[in-house]
Structure 1
Amino acid sequence: MFTRWGDIAYRWRRVVPVIVVAVIALLYLLVGTKLGDRMSSEGWDDPHSESTRAAQIEQDVFGRDASGDVILLVTRDNPDTDLSSEEVRTDFTRQLNAISSSHPDQVRQTLSYFDGQQAQLITDDGSAAFASVSLQGVEDEVLKNYREIEDALHSIEVPGATVEVAGATAVSGALDTGMSDDIARAEVIGLPAVALLLILVFGSVVAACMPLLVGVLSILGSMGVLSLLADITMVNTFAQSVVTLLGLGLAIDYGLFMVSRYREELAEGRDVRTAVRNTTASAGKTVVFSALMVAVALSSLLLFPQAFLKSVAYGAISAVGLAALLSVFVLPSVFALLGRNIDKWTLFHRGRTKEDTVNSWWGRVPAFAMRHAKVLTVGLVGVLLLLTIPLGGVKFGGINETFLPPDDTTRVAQNNFDENFPELRTDPVKLVIRQDDGTSAVGQVYQQANAVEGLTGQFQVSQPTKDGVTVLSAGIADRDDNDRIVNELRDIKVDGAEVLVAGTPAMGVESIDALFGKLPWMLLYIIVATFILLSLVFGSVILPAKAVIMNLLGTGATLGILTWMFVDGFGADLFNFSPGPLMSPVLVLIVAIVYGLSTDYEVFLVSRMVEARAHGASTKEAIRFGTATTGGIITAAAAIMIVVCGAFGFSSIVMMKYIAFGMIAALVIDATIIRMLLVPALMALLREDCWWAPTWVTRISEKIGHNERLEVVDASTAPTPAAAERSDEGSERSLRRTSAVSVATEDGNVGANSGAGAHEDGPVPFAELMARLERDRRNDRKG
């Protein structure tokens, strides 16, 4: 299939790119530009949880509780300012009433000390007072209404005092703004940085532009796909940042692999058509398999009930699939158009043949790992397990203002409000009581609830009884006590009444419960699915088992590092965030992403080992060949992904920092410790057992994973690169197949030649290359 597409891509090279670019452009212009209006800030809760059901009951009976939407905190700058003076009260009330009257569709009601002089709305010493603004609408309408009046609220001034904007919706708005800024930062900072890095990798401006082309198309296409999804289902705003990060990073990675393989084919003396065909049949197929592995890992997020995770899964899978399709559909045709101009505007030479690569530093590293296999295996596994230890101290919590930077104005305002009014909370815990007619259940619930320790004050009736439903509310003094307090409140039982625990604290606790309930099933699904797919790709059941173990070790070490940073606080001042509990859905998300990326690189690495083995190489020869020919590419791909993640690492949102630094840690561990050292060492210890599989697995693998035929030049008559360039003009003729060469398989195959020795300037037959490696190995041993 991939071979056939390579021929089609070459034959229709002037048509395919135009069609694909036109489709992406139309998708972006028609629906992608509407993405911002279709995104949602909802979806963090479990729709089947008790707190969600309680919130729905409260909303159906009383309407949405909007009391904590927006808080206008007024704090005097000096003792001479009297917030209770007629002048201050009149001036503030005039400004607030002007906003309310001019925005009746956005503002439901206001409650202000400066209007009614209620004692609970001002501190005992008179240093601070506040007004609350309740907004119209439900769910995403609330944030949109806040955006309409946000500037007006920030423009309120009180002489001699500071006016700050806090509240649940204001915090949501600040988080939403931070996520939107992440996208712009990735485009403004990430893309130019990646472009410079690609030039360093390829040494050619034209070659460097190829992965960037896929990256840009992937961003535009992903926005269109996300917009379509948002029109069908709820897509959280946070999903856009994650999708952009994954889509851009993987698109550039896949483009890098395709370009590297095409240039390698040209360096081996292939004409342009053969190079395009072979690149598509080998690297193109591996890209598709790799994307499938990442998609499988991300699909595990669909096991969780939170709409936020489902929306990320839908969007990220679409982005990864789009990145792979663009790499396979667009780049081969672009290669055919460019021909050998892929190396135009070369600043410095980076091209090398397979033989040069295997005999380079990239080949000596795995040789070293295999010579010291036992020591490295034990030592590196110990290091990874050691890095995992901090994970034991992980803590979870709900989304709140602490996910903003410590100096963020909204977070500072919220902290000041909580400090000045400790008994009030914009995120209270609630008890929704449904009682039978004629019972006095509310009083009994009230007494039992107030016996719970750790509250900011006694429960108060926030919604008086209506249609048999009453709502009590109270604040929790310390968020670390959320789990204990919510569980104690759940234990309240009163005859004749149903007591449901609701509010943001309950939602956070239930989110954690959902995590631990579904996490084992998620891990089982990922492990089984990737094991099956890798078995079919590699034709072995030992290599997939090894891959699963390596992925789990790398994922555990990554989570340990993240816990050390974001829970224990290492680097908090440097990277401007506050350590604290993590959101459980974000932990699940990073597990899926890191595991998927690890499997992605595993496919590229081991595929070339399998290729060498299929051509008669010994286990150690195959390990060295596979590691050497992919080591540089994987390292470059990891470096590029790290640059993209680095742009998101400057995010103002802790959740995005968590994902960005998690990916950076995983990439560093994966591209160095695991792929270059631990995998070669462990496979050397396994020896011939690496390749074992039941016969039926081998047969299926041959049909699915190793059925692509690559055109290989007979080494005894191979043209020099210059001669191959002259032959490009005749490449429109049908590809000639000869029985003198064998079938090549997987990414990077070199056909074994049955004829004479290699031409001096032509490609080296695989058998001879392996023989040279064996001679080098013996020389290394003597040395």
Structure 2
Amino acid sequence: MLSWIADLVLRRPRTVLVAALVSVLAMAAVGIGAFGKLQSGGFDDPDAPSSRATALIDEKFGGETNLVLLVRADGGGRLDSPAAERAGREIADGLKDEPGVSGVVSYWDTGGSALTSRDGDQALILAHIEGDDTERTDRAGELSEKWSGDRGAVTVHTGGQAAVASDITSQISKDLAIAEAIAVPITLILLVIAFGSVVAALLPLAIGLIAVMGTFAELYVLGSITDVSIFSINLTTALGLGLGIDYGLLLVSRFRERLTEGDDVPDALRTTVATAGRTIAFSAATVVAALAALLLFPPFFLRSFAYAGIGVVAIAAVGALVVVPALLAVLGHRVNSGRLPWAESVRRPDAPVWGRLASVVMRRPALTALPVLAVLLLAASPLLGASFGNPDERVLPDSAPSRQVATAVDEDFGRDDTSAVQIVTTGPVDAAGLDAYATAVSRLDGVTRVQASSGTYQDGEAAPPGPVNAALGRDDAQRLTVATEPESGSGAAEDLVHDIRAVPAPDGVEALVGGPDARLVDTKAAIGDRLPAAIAWVALTTFALLFLFTGSVVQPLRALVLNTISLTAAIGAMVWIFQEGNLSSVLGFTPMPMNTSMTVLLFCIVFGLSMDYEVFVTSRIKELHDAGEDTGTAVTHGLSRTGRIVTMAAGLLAVSLFAFTTSEISFMQMFGLGSGLAILIDAVAVRGVLVPAAMRLLGRGAWYAPKALRRLHGRVGLSEAAAPPPAPAEPRREPAGI
């Protein structure tokens, strides 16, 4: 299948390397512009009712409040003191003059008690920043820097949804730099230790560099024609380096093995490309299939990770299959240059400890596998009580200004309209229809007040004296603001959104319900409705690829079951930590519901990487089985040859991912800790114990396929080994159960 690559790089290795260098430089020149093309936000379904409500409110009513300035009188003074009043009015008037800012309302404009704290020394200025998510995030950062701090008789802090997004983006940029500063040096040291040679340790970095630069160029192109999240950069760098390590370990280890066995460089390279190269091709295909499931979800935040993930996997595979063989062809035996004292122990082709572990497991499969399964199922059990939400100010550290503002508003003020349910009609509504609709909404349990252009409504009737707010009404639309009793983000708040949507809209129009709780409902629906299709896609494509790889229908099923167990254990542990609050004092986060989008992202990425290691191990086992070894021996020898590679690759990638736990954003901590833990569980518990136990229990049935599928595999299945397997003198008879 891949013999032409080996022939090419053996004939023209330097030409291939020069072409690769030119390509990397070109991709770097294009990719450097990717950062200016990527966007913030993207967590919402653009076609959901809440998104349509937001767009309509922006268009017709100046937008929802997304910027909150908390003004505090200094020195224990009062807001009504001349100095504080003068400073407050100057801030409010200055904000009104800012370009791209509308709907500015302040305590000094209205004198309303809703905009002043209970103790009377704090006040709010509310505003709307115009533009898309990225423009709002950038503008919020500029306004915060300009207006926050000591302003004479008052001190100002900036909050609101736009300021929260700005603080999250700013903090993640700082955290990513810290994480890379920690992970990269440690990874380089561990690479040298793992390879026992400085030259060999540099080869995975070549793959990683190609993958990262190529994906940046891809993101630049995609960012020019569609919405792509800025957070896709994080995945590109982490996954590019991780896959470089995975593929580099596999290729270099196999090449060294063949040299140790006495092959000359051309033969060693041909065998390496034919065997390890084929494994990489299938591994990349399984990871791409898992990440492609993210394309099914409407929020472009998730789709962006599919763009980045598919790109980085495909480009890393091409780099591994073409560039690294060319480097090996040029280096030859010099791949071992810069040898370290322990080089001989890591260069040997097998790892006896993994072979001995497999032998023990296969002699006592139930005794060894059941305790591991029990621990993993126990770790997965918190998933039964999982709840999901959208990121808010609680993902930030306590020191973040926007979080401090949100806390002050919750504790010191009445409910403000930033958390209210927003309703907007898609057309004109007459006075009688508006009055009837507002009355019906105000009658719902959990609704404390409804404000409309016709007045204020409480408990099913107009509240005296019923002041008129003309800004909520237009000839072509009406807007209603609904103050609610349940805590925002709670299950009761979500139920209330459903109840409001169930109220019949005025005749001839649609009543679109928006606001934070409505966005949460719609996000969960957008992901939940498509989750079965995404899971089915991952399962079917994985099954098909592994069938083509192994010729068995049992191996794909075994892989799906074991990978699901390890993945649910890791996500269950994240529920126990980040939702239930265990280890919160150590990691420094606030417990809250699991981030819906990040949990789906974690599932798809970790599932794909788990299949990566599945292909590494199964490839060697099948190769030995096809060469004439019985299943038990093939499993023992296969794990002996791949156990070190898998654990080294997993450990090195886990270092990069665990570095994200230094972040001060809780959902980044969850992603880094969860994905790193899942990879280690898969590499050690699943590959070391559960795979040999399952193979022992399945016995000869492990390679079963119906006759029709065997014939299909014979025609379309892809197989390639170093040499044709020897024909056995007589049919192989395996011991019972092996």
Deviation at 1:397, TM superposition (A): 1.4
Give the corresponding residue for 1:780: none
Greater shift, 623-632 or 179-188, is seen at 179-188
CA 107–57 in structure 1, closer or farther in 2 if over 3 Å, else same: closer
Cα distance in 2 for residues equivalent to 1:214 and 1:274: 23
Give the corresponding residue for 1:84: 80
| Correspondence 1:409 to 2:401 | yes
Cα distance in 1 for residues equivalent to 2:701 and 2:679: 28
Cα distance in 2 for residues equivalent to 1:432 and 1:185: 44
Cα deviation code 1:310-331 (max 9, x no counterpart): 1211221111111111111211
Give the corresponding residue for 2:480: 472
Secondary structure of the equivalent of 2:473?
Answer: strand
198, 221, 226: which one pairs with 2:219?
226
**Counterpart amino acid of residue 308 in structure 2:** G
Q: Is the 8 A contact 2:279 2:616 kept in 1?
A: yes
Cα deviation code 1:227-260 (max 9, x no counterpart): 2111121111222223332232222222222222
CA 3–703 in structure 1, closer or farther in 2 if over 3 Å, else same: farther
Give the corresponding residue for 1:743: 724
TM-score (normalizing by structure 1): 0.86
Secondary structure of the equivalent of 1:474?
Answer: strand
Alignment of 1:579-598 (within 5 A): 579-598=591-610
Greater shift, 199-208 or 441-450, is seen at 441-450
Deviation at 1:76, TM superposition (A): 3.7
Q: Is the 8 A contact 2:114 2:416 kept in 1?
A: no
Give the corresponding residue for 2:183: 190
CA 323–489 in structure 1, closer or farther in 2 if over 3 Å, else same: same
| Correspondence 1:433 to 2:445 | no
CA 384–310 in structure 1, closer or farther in 2 if over 3 Å, else same: same
Instruction: Count matched residues.
Output: 714
Cα distance in 2 for residues equivalent to 1:413 and 1:54: 26
**Counterpart amino acid of residue 55 in structure 2:** Q
Deviation at 1:120, TM superposition (A): 3.3
CA 371–591 in structure 1, closer or farther in 2 if over 3 Å, else same: same
| Correspondence 1:503 to 2:515 | yes
Give the corresponding residue for 2:579: 567
**Counterpart amino acid of residue 242 in structure 1:** L
**Counterpart amino acid of residue 16 in structure 2:** V
Secondary structure of the equivalent of 2:548?
Answer: helix
| Correspondence 1:295 to 2:306 | no
**Counterpart amino acid of residue 90 in structure 1:** R
Deviation at 1:389, TM superposition (A): 1.1
Q: Is the 8 A contact 1:70 1:167 kept in 2?
A: yes
Give the corresponding residue for 1:12: 12
| Correspondence 1:25 to 2:25 | yes
Give the corresponding residue for 2:249: 256
Q: Is the 8 A contact 1:294 1:320 kept in 2?
A: yes
Deviation at 1:451, TM superposition (A): 2.9
Cα distance in 2 for residues equivalent to 1:191 and 1:434: 53
Give the corresponding residue for 2:634: 622
Secondary structure of the equivalent of 1:15?
Answer: helix
Alignment of 1:743-762 (within 5 A): 743=724
Give the corresponding residue for 2:52: 53
Deviation at 1:536, TM superposition (A): 0.7
Cα distance in 2 for residues equivalent to 1:141 and 1:7: 52
Secondary structure of the equivalent of 2:72?
Answer: strand
Secondary structure of the equivalent of 2:125?
Answer: strand
CA 425–627 in structure 1, closer or farther in 2 if over 3 Å, else same: farther
524, 533, 553: which one pairs with 1:521?
533
Alignment of 1:84-103 (within 5 A): 84-94=80-90, 97=93, 101=97
Secondary structure of the equivalent of 1:82?
Answer: coil
Cα deviation code 1:3-28 (max 9, x no counterpart): 21012123222122222232222222
494, 516, 522: which one pairs with 1:483?
494
CA 563–503 in structure 1, closer or farther in 2 if over 3 Å, else same: same
Cα deviation code 1:696-726 (max 9, x no counterpart): 544554566554353xxxxxxxxxxxxxxxx
Cα deviation code 1:319-372 (max 9, x no counterpart): 1111111111211111122222211111223346998626x1121000000011
The CA RMSD over aligned residues, in Å, is 2.8
Give the corresponding residue for 2:381: 389
Cα distance in 1 for residues equivalent to 2:95 and 2:511: 39
Secondary structure of the equivalent of 2:654?
Answer: helix
| Correspondence 1:72 to 2:69 | yes
Cα distance in 2 for residues equivalent to 1:450 and 1:96: 32
| Correspondence 1:493 to 2:504 | yes
5+ residue gaps, structure 2: 454-468
Cα distance in 1 for residues equivalent to 2:233 and 2:452: 40
Deviation at 1:467, TM superposition (A): 2.9
Secondary structure of the equivalent of 2:157?
Answer: strand
Give the corresponding residue for 2:652: 640
Deviation at 1:191, TM superposition (A): 1.6
Deviation at 1:119, TM superposition (A): 4.1
**Counterpart amino acid of residue 589 in structure 1:** L
CA 109–422 in structure 1, closer or farther in 2 if over 3 Å, else same: closer
Cα deviation code 1:480-533 (max 9, x no counterpart): 132111111112125525322112210111111223222222222211111111
5+ residue gaps, structure 1: 711-741, 745-751, 755-766, 778-783
Secondary structure of the equivalent of 1:467?
Answer: coil
Give the corresponding residue for 1:444: 436
Q: Is the 8 A contact 2:362 2:696 kept in 1?
A: yes
Secondary structure of the equivalent of 1:14?
Answer: helix
**Counterpart amino acid of residue 255 in structure 2:** Y
Q: Is the 8 A contact 1:2 1:285 kept in 2?
A: yes
408, 413, 417: which one pairs with 1:421?
413
Cα distance in 1 for residues equivalent to 2:142 and 2:367: 63
Q: Is the 8 A contact 1:264 1:353 kept in 2?
A: no
Cα distance in 1 for residues equivalent to 2:85 and 2:109: 7
Greater shift, 261-270 or 378-387, is seen at 378-387
CA 422–220 in structure 1, closer or farther in 2 if over 3 Å, else same: farther
Q: Is the 8 A contact 1:64 1:138 kept in 2?
A: no
Q: Is the 8 A contact 2:46 2:299 kept in 1?
A: yes
CA 247–353 in structure 1, closer or farther in 2 if over 3 Å, else same: closer
CA 343–354 in structure 1, closer or farther in 2 if over 3 Å, else same: closer
Q: Is the 8 A contact 1:186 1:647 kept in 2?
A: yes
Secondary structure of the equivalent of 2:158?
Answer: strand
TM-score (normalizing by structure 2): 0.91
Give the corresponding residue for 1:62: 61
| Correspondence 1:207 to 2:200 | yes
Cα distance in 1 for residues equivalent to 2:670 and 2:448: 31
Q: Percent identity?
A: 32
Alignment of 1:233-382 (within 5 A): 233-351=226-344, 357=350, 360-382=352-374
Q: Is the 8 A contact 2:95 2:104 kept in 1?
A: no
Cα distance in 2 for residues equivalent to 1:36 and 1:83: 43
Q: Is the 8 A contact 1:435 1:441 kept in 2?
A: no
CA 162–58 in structure 1, closer or farther in 2 if over 3 Å, else same: closer
Deviation at 1:99, TM superposition (A): 6.5
Give the corresponding residue for 2:136: 142
| Correspondence 1:604 to 2:616 | yes
Deviation at 1:648, TM superposition (A): 1.7
Cα distance in 2 for residues equivalent to 1:313 and 1:482: 32
Secondary structure of the equivalent of 1:237?
Answer: coil
